[in-house]
Amino acid sequence: MKVYYEFGLCGAYIDLDGHYGNSIDNSRDFVPEIDKAISPICGNINIMVSHQAYIEELKANLEILRKEIIEDRVHYVVFCHGADSHEWDELASQVSTEEWVECSRLVYTFILDLQKETNKQIPLILSLFGGYRRDDYNSVLSLHATDLVTCLNILCGSKINYTTEVTPRIISCEQKL
């Protein structure tokens, strides 16, 4: 809201948090101008399906967002890539490691291609959301590190080699019940 009030800019959230980050939707009741600050058409991309359908839905939403940016209705993007959408997370289980990394590539390539197409910088804010692994928090950190390395390699032209290391989740007897 501050960006909208001060600069008149409208944003969009690519919210790939595994348990539906609904803070924008929940704010509508007490922030009446939110649809001016966050695009009502594509401003809060949340994906509720799994695996290949997840990737296809992301691609479809990025096409809608592309049009909104080209038509100057969206001025910046916030990417919230939650590690809790990973299949071995304790909360969501929507995508495999390969699919999770593909989502990073899709978003960063989308921004890069759009910058080339429009010949302007697209402000991008990264917010690494979620990730719940009591048995192995390093897997969560590895996913987030992979996302940042992917961003640097695609958007900044870096050549960082990084291997994502995510171990299968250990389910205790209590959790099975």
pLDDT value of residue 20: 61
Distances (CA, A) of 52 to 96, 129, 139: 10, 21, 22
**Residues of the chain with pLDDT > 90: what percent?**
74
Q: What is the pLDDT of residues 43-75, one digit of tens each?
A: 889 898 999 999 999 999 999 999 999 999 999
Q: Would you say 39 and 13 are in contact if contact means Cβ atoms under 8 Å apart?
A: no
End-to-end CA distance of the chain: 44
Q: Which of 30-39, 55-64, 151-160 bottoms out in mean pLDDT, i.e. has the lowest?
A: 30-39
Look at residue 26 and tell me whether its pLDDT is greater than 80. no
Distances (CA, A) of 40 to 19, 43, 80, 124, 153: 21, 6, 18, 19, 31
pLDDT value of residue 177: 55
What is the distance of C-alpha 138 from the center of its chain? Answer: 20
- Residue span of the structural domain in which 145 resides: 2-176
Sign, CA torsion 111/112/113/116: positive
- The total number of structural domains that make up the chain: 1
Mean pLDDT (the chain) is 92
Residues 6+ apart with CB under 8 A from 39: 10, 11, 12, 68, 73, 74
* Residue 77: CATH number of its domain: 3.40.220
C-alpha 99/C-alpha 94 separation (Å) is 9
